[in-house]
Every structure is written in C-alpha cells, then in structure tokens.
A and B are shown apart, each in its own frame.
Chain A
C-alpha cells in the first residue's frame, strides 16, 4: 500500500514537473539556446497570480489566464528586444539571460517587496480511495497540467504552425529553404515557453510559497529533466519528468529523505555517462 501511495504521489508531482520543463525543452530544441532566465517567467506567473487574486480580487481562472497571457507577451518582447540580436552567440545568450533573470528578480522586489506571499488554496482536503490519499489541490493541478501538455502535443502534431516548429527544430536550414519564417517560429516558441513556465506557477503557487527567488529551483530541475530526457525532445522531457518525481518520492521513503535530490542527480550523471545525449536526444528533435 505504501508503495502504491508513493507511486501515485510521484506521478502527480511528475505531471507538474513535465509542465515546468516542457517550455524549456521547446526553447532548447527550436532556438538552440540555453535560457537561464526561464525560471523568472515561473516567478512572474506566481506574482501576477498573487496580484490578480489578492490585490484585485479576481477569481483563479481569470487570474490564471491573465497571468499566462502576460508572461507570453513578456516572452515575445524579450525575444525581440534582447535575444534576437545575439541569438547566434551562445555565450552571450547565457550571460544575458542570467543577468536578465537577476535584474528582473530585483524589479520584482522593487514592485512587490521581498516578503513571502501565499495564495489561498483552490481545493482543500484529500480523496480517500481504498486507503490511498489523493490531495485535491495536487489532483486538480495535475489534471490541468496534463490537459496543457496534451494541447501542446496536439498543437505540435496537428497544426501547420506546430509542423513548422518541428521542422525548425529538426532542420533549420531546410526550414529556411521551404519558406518558413524561422525567426517568427523562434519568437513564438520562446513566448510559449514563458507561457508554460507561468502556467506551472499559476497551478503551483497556491501550494507553494511565493517569493522573489522562487524561480531558481524549478530552473535547475527543468534543466536536469531536459538533459535526462535528451535536449529538445518533448517525449524525453515528459518521461524524465515522471522519472525525476518518482525517484525523489521513492528514494525519500526507502533510502533517506535528505537524499531525494541527490538520487536524481546520481541517475542523471549515470545516464549522461552512458548516453551523453540523454534518453531521447538526437533522435527526432521536438
């Protein structure tokens, strides 16, 4: 029974990790850049939610939609005004996005202050199914995350834009040759990444604490997941996200609670040593 409970908790957590990492893998696959500011869109999503719900009294759904739309628009602007000029220079992109993340964190402190914030829960309590406890809030967050992930997958598979995005990811020069506007695809991909990071924050901020530096930990986890799954592989990212969550939960219980993060990184190091491109890297692009 304990094992089943742990696996279910791990799966619920895995869905949320997948949502956090999905935007980063799209950015990596399509733009071929290492975006160190990715976590700040997560932070912005949480603060926008806080602002709309607590300060303006909006309901969760409206606040969530506004928050992710704002993050999307900021993503568009950042790509156009900051990244576009240096996109081919990987080192400059890393330095700029890192500095941008720190600067934006200071701006968040300036606008909202440094105190810790919390958001009211949108569902309290647990469902007890045959002795297995399911927290309603994590269950709802998981369900919404899965819906968003499925929508992204359908979008990539079924729409013309999605197909163009995949082509840019797999063969950028080929995409140019067949007349795809690669810059537009990259810009929108970056904005979609910001949107997904903010979506994860909207779902998680009623569970977690909201504070200016909250984006760094998800950034680290997202990178770990993306590397484990294979840079730019959506399928790999989703599988790695669930693997990370399950490793964390199971190792916490069966090995040692303080080793949950270590366990994941040990697995990550082993995978990189055996298969440097990650589980699904270099096979299929996004």
Chain B
C-alpha cells in the first residue's frame, strides 16, 4: 500500500511538473508599480500561446514584439519611457488566459495588454481588461463575436481595440484569387470540421455569391483525418474551377500531399494555417508546389516599415515568420506607442480617443479603427493582405499586382 501511494505521489508530481511547464509565466522583468514617471518602463503584458496545440505560434509573436520594443526604445521610448514586455503563456486556453491577464494586471502592474490567440480567450480577457480599465489590443483572435461584443457596449470596452483581421477580412483576402487570378465561376470548399472553418466557409460563400461565383461542393473533414481519397474524389466529381482549402492544422499536410499526387486538375488556395508556414513547406519538396495561399504580410514594400522589418527579422532570428503572428504583434505594440505619443499623455481616455480617431502605420498598411466596434478597417487604403504561391519551396507573391513576383504559376495538369 505504501509502495502504491509513493508511486501515485510520483505520478502526481510529474503531472504538476507538466502543468507548471505548460503555464509558467516567463516574465522578462521584476514586478513593481509602473507609473507615469519617465524612469519607470511602460509595461506591456503579452498574452500568447507558448504551449499546447498552438504553442508553435507564441515564439514567433515574441520575436515580432521584441523588434517593435527595440525600435520604440531606440527612438526614445513612449513619451520618454522605455517599453518592457512581460509575456504570459496562455496556451490558447480561456482559463489560463484569464489567469494570465489577472496576474499581469494585478501582480506585474502592466500598463496595457496585447495578444490572445483564440476568440474564446479574447472574449474572456476583454472583460478582465475592461473591469481593470487597462488598454487591450487584440492582435490575433479574429472572430466577429469580438467586434460585436465591443459594438454592443462600446463605453464598457472603451479601451479594447481589435488589430486582428475579421473573418470577412480573411475571405476578402482570398477573393481576388477567384475573381481576378483564376476568373473562377465555381469553387469547392474543403475544410476542417470546426466552428472557425464553418464560419469562414459561410462568409466566403456570401462574398463569392456576391461576385457571381457559385459553391459547387463542400467537405468538412475530421481534425485527426489522415486519408483524403473520399474528399479528392468528391472534388473531382464536383468539377469546380478552384478549391478553397480551410484545412489549417495538422491534416493540411497529408491533404496537400495527396492532392498533389492525385494531380487534381484545379488550383487550390489555402485560407491560412499550417500550409502557409515556411517551416512546414521546407521539406515537402515538389508536393508543396502550386499551393496558393492568403497572407497578411510578406517582405514586400507594403509600407515603408515592411521590408526593413522582414530584413531585421530574418537577420535576428534566422527564419521567416508566418506573415501573421509576428506582424500583428509588432503592429499592435507600434500602434499603442504611436497612439500614446500622439495623445501626448498616458491618460487612458486620451489614448482611447486617439485610437478611435487617428490613423496608424503598421507593416500591413494603415490602421483605422471603427469608432463603434473598434475593428481595424480592411481594404484599399487601410490594412490589406497578399496572395502568394509556393514554388520550389519559395513563396511567390501573385497579388496585388504592384508587389507581385509573378503571375500564377500553372501546374501542367490543371484544366
């Protein structure tokens, strides 16, 4: 019995160790009050996933944030105060996100929050930030629910702004692939069986129909699927002009490989996720060729900040980011700094007013927030994305025309 209890204790210790590793806060500073004193740093709490199924994204966000921090500090800081980053691993989990937000606000005394990867986390952390009257720039979570929630009670969420694109922005980013590049009349939507992919599919359908493009088939595959013969046969049977792929997690790779091997005679464009990450593509060989995808940023002169950022990122970290995680985190921190500098004070009401009324330059374009729901506006003149295509392991920009590397490279077997 004693022996069994000992073993049970060892198992519990291991569990706790794993839990601790998963949710540890990785503060880069000591704690203490942060005031309007120029000697005190301006503390920004970063709520990002560094473990769990989205753990891959957290480090990329930190890497983007650090470049923003260095640039702001080198330029004299925010009204003379140096920026300090305090990351917390939310593990893309709502409970951990709320715990992290409270810890950052109450213990680390941060001046502002940036981050949250999933909508559920953002929706919960919004309330924590609103209660504490802490500015919160949502950099990653994209669902419409966030803007709707802000729009319904804009005075309560006065300090909450959404830098991340909306669901409609994701699909608007893809639409030129159908309308301009391939001149498609029909499309097929192959996606994961998740709420996010379904929401994306529904918005895509509305936008495509408005452009005269018809949905001729759709498939929602399991998130643990590894075999896609049925999906590919269904695509061939539907005979669309384009396949829009919303399989954004692990099954995306076997799907893309099978799609390539089966020589499906139709171009495919991917909404986001695993097939847009250079690290994933690196060793896929020819099987990644001809996959097009939407990106929110790339090393092209979209604004005068963009190319220097990408050069710095590559030189400093030796890899290419996702065009989303590092970009939106960088832009959020820059927007925060620029808004305070423009407001001329650390007063939160002045900051909120400036964020509502002014425009801010970022890597992805010009940010202008909607005055009611605080969503960053999308489209020409504001924030915009790009479309690219993988060829020989390199992302070739195919849209918009002013920054493109080449026209769409056609696979020999496409119709």
Interface set of A (CB-CB < 8 Å, partner B): 2, 5-6, 9-10, 13, 54, 85-86, 89, 92, 95-96, 98-100, 102-103, 106, 109, 113-121, 124-126, 133, 135-137, 204, 207-209, 211-214, 217, 220, 245, 248-249, 252-253, 257-258, 260-261
**B285 & A207 in contact (Cβ 8 Å cutoff):** no
Of the candidates B230, B263, B279, the one whose C-beta lies within 8 Å of that of A117 is B279
Count class of interface residues, chain B: 35 or more
A100 and B143 alpha carbons, distance in the complex (Å): 36
**A120 & B229 in contact (Cβ 8 Å cutoff):** no
User: With a CB–CB cut-off of 8 A, which chain B residues contact A245?
Assistant: 227
A-B contact pairs, 13 of them (CB 8 A): A6-B229, A85-B3, A96-B14, A102-B14, A114-B55, A116-B274, A116-B277, A126-B261, A135-B258, A135-B262, A249-B229, A253-B229, A257-B221
A257 and B11 alpha carbons, distance in the complex (Å): 39
- The segment from B40-48, B73-81, B106-114, B249-257 found at the interface with A is B249-257
User: With a CB–CB cut-off of 8 A, which chain A residues contact B280?
Assistant: 116-118, 209
- The segment from B15-23, B177-185, B336-344, B359-367 found at the interface with A is B15-23
Q: Closest chain A residue to B49 by CB distance?
A: A114
**A208 & B250 in contact (Cβ 8 Å cutoff):** yes
Q: Mark B49-81, 1 if CB is under 8 A from A, else 0.
A: 001010110010000000000000000000000
User: With a CB–CB cut-off of 8 A, which chain B residues contact A136?
Assistant: 261
Q: Closest chain B residue to A12 by CB distance?
A: B227
Q: Closest chain A residue to B57 by CB distance?
A: A114
**A124 & B7 in contact (Cβ 8 Å cutoff):** no
**B282 & A118 in contact (Cβ 8 Å cutoff):** yes
Q: What is the CB-to-nearest-CB distance from B237 to chain A, in angstroms, rounded to a whole number?
A: 8
Considering only residues 277-291 of chain B, those with a C-beta below 8 Å from chain A are 277, 279-287
User: With a CB–CB cut-off of 8 A, which chain A residues contact B227?
Assistant: 9-10, 13, 245, 248-249
**A116 & B279 in contact (Cβ 8 Å cutoff):** yes
Task: Check: B231 CB closer than 8 A to any chain A CB.
Answer: yes
User: With a CB–CB cut-off of 8 A, which chain A residues contact B284?
Assistant: 118, 120-121
User: With a CB–CB cut-off of 8 A, which chain B residues contact A54?
Assistant: 283
User: With a CB–CB cut-off of 8 A, which chain A residues contact B55?
Assistant: 109, 114, 212
User: With a CB–CB cut-off of 8 A, which chain A residues contact B250?
Assistant: 116, 208-209, 211, 214
Considering only residues 216-255 of chain B, those with a C-beta below 8 Å from chain A are 219-222, 224-227, 229-231, 233-234, 250, 252-254
Task: Check: B156 CB closer than 8 A to any chain A CB.
Answer: no
**A124 & B222 in contact (Cβ 8 Å cutoff):** no
**A133 & B56 in contact (Cβ 8 Å cutoff):** no
A145 and B363 alpha carbons, distance in the complex (Å): 49
Of the candidates A92, A119, A252, A261, the one whose C-beta lies within 8 Å of that of B231 is A252
Q: Closest chain B residue to A113 by CB distance?
A: B59
**A257 & B230 in contact (Cβ 8 Å cutoff):** yes
Of the candidates B193, B233, B257, the one whose C-beta lies within 8 Å of that of A121 is B257
User: With a CB–CB cut-off of 8 A, which chain A residues contact B283?
Assistant: 54, 117-120
Q: Add 13 more A-B contacts to A116-B56, A204-B226 (CB < 8 A).
A: A9-B229, A89-B7, A116-B279, A118-B253, A124-B285, A135-B258, A248-B225, A249-B227, A253-B234, A257-B219, A258-B220, A258-B222, A260-B222
Task: Check: B10 CB closer than 8 A to any chain A CB.
Answer: yes
Q: What is the CB-to-nearest-CB distance from B117 to chain A, in angstroms, rounded to a whole number?
A: 13
